[in-house]
Each structure stands twice: as C-alpha cells, then as structure tokens.
A and B are shown apart, each in its own frame.
Chain A
Amino acid sequence: MTRDAIKDLILEIIEDIDEDADFDSLQSDKPLRDQLDLDSMDFLDIVMELRKRHKLQIPEEDYPELATLDSCVNYLEPLLADA
C-alpha cells in the first residue's frame, strides 16, 4: 500500500467514526486527537478497524505511533507493504 493510500485509509476510518470530521485544515504532523476532537474510544475504533480491514494487531505500546497522520503512515507503511 502506498503512503497516500495509507493516508486515505486512516481518513476513511476517521470519517466512518465521525462523518462530520473536517479534514480541510488538518495538519499531518500535528496530533489527530487535538485537531479532530477524537478521544480514546475513537482511537481504539481506529485500531479495531485496522484489525478488521487488514488483520493488523497493533500492540498497545505502539499506539503513540498513531498520533499524527504522518506517524500513522510511517508506522503502517512496512506493515501494509503487501496490502
């Protein structure tokens, strides 16, 4: 999966959680939680969706890697290389 495709995947998952989410001013290097009014339950929704869609088991200690859109892409790129 390309970096752009991973980015789209994350945004698609967030849109499923909150279809009113506004991505227009989203800065990819800033925490998603602060910019999109996401809380810990939403964050776990993202983890669950990655598990359902791509069988990814993300260990809890790696959750900080999913803080920003950029860090998501960096973290997921090797894991989704064959996806």
Chain B
Amino acid sequence: METQLPRIVITGIGLAAPNADNLKTYREKLLNGVSEITEIDLRYFGRAPAGICSFQETKYRKKKENKRGTRAGCLGVYCANEALADAGLDIDHYKRSRIGVYVGLTEHGTVETENEVYNISQYDYNVDYWTHHHNPRTVLNNPAGEITMNLGITGPHYSIGAACAAGNASLIQGVQMMRLGEVDMALAGGISESTGSFGIFASFQAQGALGSAPDPREACRPFDNSRDGIVVSEGACIYVLERLESALARNAAIYAEIIGYGMNSDARDYVLPFHERQAECMELAMERAGITPDDVDIINTHATGTKQGDIEECKAIQQVFGQSDNTYINNTKSIIGHAMGAAGVLELAGNLPAFQDNMVHPSINCRDLDPECKLKNMVFNEPVTLDSVDIILNNSFGMVGINSVIIVKKYQ
C-alpha cells in the first residue's frame, strides 16, 4: 500500500439511479434485484428499454436554472448537494477555493446538439434560430461547472472523458489531486444524460449491441446465453473525498478508503474489449493496494450484457482470480442498466454498504449461464451473506480501449 501518500476516504455519497434517488433505497433495491428499467420513446428512433432517474429536480436549484442548464448539470447538482448532506459537511467547512469538482463523462453535448438540430429543422434549418445556450451547455466541463456555480465552489472543476470508464477515472483523479495537495476536498463522480440522445441508441443498434426483451427489466442480461446488448441508462453519483485525518478530525462517517486503482489502454480496437489488458489493470490496482486476489471479497463486474464484452471480462477475472475461493462476483448493470459515465461510481456505491451488512447484492436476468462466462462464486438472483466484507474491486471499461479499476477497503 502507498502508505507514504495521504490516505483518501469516501465520506459522502449522492446518487440518482434508475431505481433510487438515495443510497439506502438503492441498496435495498439492489439486494432484492429490483429493476425499474422502463421503455422510452426516442425521436427518430422509436421505443427502447432505458433507465430513467426520478428525483427531486428542484430540491437544490430553481426550475429556471434546470431549463437553462443541461440534464447532466441537473443530475450533478442534485447528487453533489446530496453527497455533501450525506457527509454532514457544510460547504464552508473547507475553503471553497480548495475544493475540486471532477466529473466523469462518457460523452457530453450529444443530447443538446441533437435537440438543437431538431429545433432548427422546424425553421428550415435557418441557423438564426440556433440557441445561444448551445456553447455553455455543450462545453465539456458543463456538468462539473454547473455544480460549482450552484455551490459557489471556486476551486478547479473539469470533466474526465474516459468512455464508460469515466466514473472510476474521475474518482482516481480526485484521489490524485487530494494526494498532490491540490485540493482539500473533492466532489468526484460521474454523470450520464445519454438517454436523451437517439444517436447513442441508434449507434448501439447499428453495432448489434442494444439489449432487448419483451419486459424492459429483462433487457440487460449479463452472462446469460441470450444476452443481446446494452441497456442505456441515465444516472449520476458524486462522492465526497477527504483525507483520512481531515475526516477523522470532524468525526465523519467513513464509507471506505480508496486503497488502489489502475488505468490502462488496450491500444488495439475501437469497440472490442481485451481481457489481457483488463487483467493487467486489475493486477496494477492490486499491486498499488498491496493486496492479493484472495483479499478481494467482491468484484463488481463491468459486464454490460454484450456477447464479447462479458466473455472478455470473465476471461480476465478467471486469469487473475481463478485461484481465489474468497472472491464473489456480481453485476449491477443487470439491475440498473448501463449508466455510462456514471456506471463505475454508481455501481461501486451500490456495493459499499456491503462493508456494513456483509452482503453481496445479486446479478439478475441470467437464467442460462454462458459457459464462457462461468466463474467461481457468481452471485445470481439472491444476495449472499459473507462472514465479512473488507475489500471491493470495481471494474469499469470503455470504448476505444480504456480500462479502469478501483479498489476500496472497509475503514476500521
């Protein structure tokens, strides 16, 4: 473990998932395998399964601000405020100039651009009708910037673009900036508004990678022989990160310590994942954490429900954890869909309460396990209770060959 570096802990979580707007409800629904994936109707595209978040949008800012900003900003402002409240932190506890906001995004601006092109199509494509809101809405720092404007944070804010590894990547960025002493507190996480874009659905469909089922709650089926692709979800999750000594000084409740992380690149294909680099990424994170595979109690898999993606990840896990009898494997996307830039952090958040309840939440929708995905200790349909959960490893991989792994430890 990098004991010479400041120890960074998670002390607050704010989230909006397709089945919950707070961690307690979210955890309950994950333990019970309650999916609320629904079907939406998209402009040009038609109907598709999707995860839509229901939360109090005007709890922390006026409707006017939500209208002016983006859906991603709206999700981010809600989650950032919820995270601070959860951490029991007043925004003035730290100097506002010493707070950093790091938001992982798979993409941003797609929704706003599609909407605007549609808008001018109503005016014969006359660009005089193109909105002046387009640029501030579509700059890549938009969701993080909307959080700083809402909370009056004057420290750095920016987005981390790392495809569907972005949630983990932003958490890693937060840890690094805290360790460098650039900031004293970080709001780090991920956001996705991708359900507003017909283009994202159409592109997955063109790739043959869009999940389907008569019941939308069964459309995301990681590891199942019949799996046919991704279910796109919106979502967001923001963590409060503090240095351990600062958290202890204010008697904060600590969800977990981030003890290791890894990021690397496949350097070979635009869309196909690659198990060898994924395995290396997990090994890198474990080496940094100073642990061995036997120490890991839970792996939250990235598996999205695509044919090749699930197989590659299972190969990687088999390669690294094949000899570990202690490691249990679950999957959150089967319940909430793929929240893209928010996926890594939302999925980790859903597993963090395991440090208190010692339970591994199940994966759902796998009735006919693909033999190529078969691993030891996979948790399906019902939660499993362990003697103790001390370490969780969270995988998150993305297009154009980006891999990320976060390892967290129970603080005691």
Tell me, in angstroms, the Cα distance from A80 to B136 when the chains sit together. 32
The answer to whether A20 and B133 touch (CB under 8 A), given A41-B68, A52-B123, A57-B128, is: no
| A18 located at the interface, meaning its Cβ lies under 8 Å from any Cβ of chain B in the complex | yes
B270 at the interface (CB under 8 A from A): no
A51 and B68 contact, CB distance less than 8 A: no
The answer to the question of A44 belonging to the interface, with a C-beta cut-off of 8 Å to chain B, is yes
* Contact assessment for B63 and A19 in the assembled complex, using a CB-CB cutoff below 8 Å: yes
Q: Report B395 CB to chain A, min CB distance, Å.
A: 41
CB distance from A45 to the nearest CB of B (A): 8
The chain A residue with its CB closest to the CB of B65 is A18
Could you tell me the distance between the alpha carbons of A52 and B131 in the complex, rounded to whole angstroms? Answer: 11
Question: Does A48 reach chain B (CB closer than 8 Å)?
Answer: yes
Q: Are B63 and A20 in contact (CB under 8 A)?
A: yes
Judged by a CB distance under 8 angstroms, whether B132 is at the interface is yes
If over half of B's interface residues share one DSSP class (helix, strand or loop), that class is named, otherwise mixed; here it is helix
Chain A residue numbers with a CB within 8 Å of B133 are 41
Report the minimal beta-carbon distance from A59 to chain B, rounded to whole angstroms: 12
Q: Which residues of B contact A45 (CB under 8 A)?
A: 132
B106: min CB distance to chain A, Å: 27
For residue B129, CB closer than 8 A to chain A, the reply is yes
Q: Mark B124-135, 1 if CB is under 8 A from A, else 0.
A: 000011011100
Please name all residues of chain A whose beta carbon is closer than 8 Å to the beta carbon of B24 when the two chains form the complex: none
Q: How many whole Å from B379's CB to the nearest CB in chain A?
A: 47
From residue 45 to 74 of chain B, which have CB atoms closer than 8 A to chain A? 62-64, 67-68
Q: Which of B62, B63, B132 contacts A41 (CB 8 A)?
A: B132
Q: Which among B63, B64, B128, B131 has the greatest number of chain A C-beta atoms within 10 A?
A: B64
Question: How many inter-chain residue pairs (CB < 8 Å) link A and B?
Answer: 24
Contacting B at CB under 8 A, from A38-54, are: 41, 44-45, 48, 51-52
- Complex contact A51–B129 (CB within 8 A): yes
Give the number of chain B interface residues (Cβ < 8 Å).
12
Q: Which residues of chain B have C-beta atoms less than 8 A from A18's C-beta?
A: 62-64
Instruction: Name the CB-closest residue of A to B130.
Output: A48
Question: Contact between A48 and B132 (Cβ–Cβ < 8 Å)?
Answer: yes
**Neighbouring A residues of B132 by C-beta, 8 Å:** 41, 44-45, 48
A45→B289 CA distance, assembly (Å)? 52
A17, CB-defined interface residue at 8 Å: yes
A52-B67 Cα distance, complex, nearest whole Å: 18
A48 to B68, CA, bound (A): 14
Report the Cα distance A20→B67, complex, angstroms: 12
Contacts of B136 in A (CB 8 A): 41
Cα distance A52–B129 in the bound complex, in angstroms: 7
Given A48-B129, A51-B129, A52-B129, residue A17 in contact with residue B67 (CB < 8 A) = yes
Give the distance to chain A from B145, nearest Cβ to Cβ, in Å: 14
A37 to B62 alpha-carbon distance, docked (Å): 13
For the complex, give the distance between the alpha carbons of A18 and B64 in Å: 5
Compute how far the CA of A18 lies from the CA of B131 in the bound complex, rounded to whole angstroms: 17
Q: Which residues of A contact B63 (CB under 8 A)?
A: 18-20
Chain A contacts for B67, CB-based, 8 A: 17
- Closest B residue to A18 by beta carbon equals B64
A20-63: CB near B (< 8 Å → 1, else 0) gives 10000000000000000000010011001001100001000000
Q: Which residues of A contact B (CB under 8 A)?
A: 17-20, 41, 44-45, 48, 51-52, 57
When A and B form their complex, which 10 residue pairs have the shortest distance between CB atoms, in order from nearest? A18-B64, A44-B132, A19-B63, A20-B62, A52-B129, A17-B64, A41-B132, A51-B128, A41-B68, A51-B129
Additional 19 contacts, C-beta under 8 A, given A17-B64, A48-B132, A52-B123: A18-B62, A18-B63, A18-B64, A19-B63, A19-B64, A20-B62, A20-B63, A41-B68, A41-B132, A41-B133, A41-B136, A44-B132, A45-B132, A48-B129, A48-B131, A51-B128, A51-B129, A52-B129, A57-B128
Partner-A contacts on B (CB < 8 A): 62-64, 67-68, 123, 128-129, 131-133, 136
Contact sample, A vs B, 6 pairs, CB 8 Å cutoff: A17-B64, A17-B67, A41-B133, A41-B136, A48-B131, A51-B129
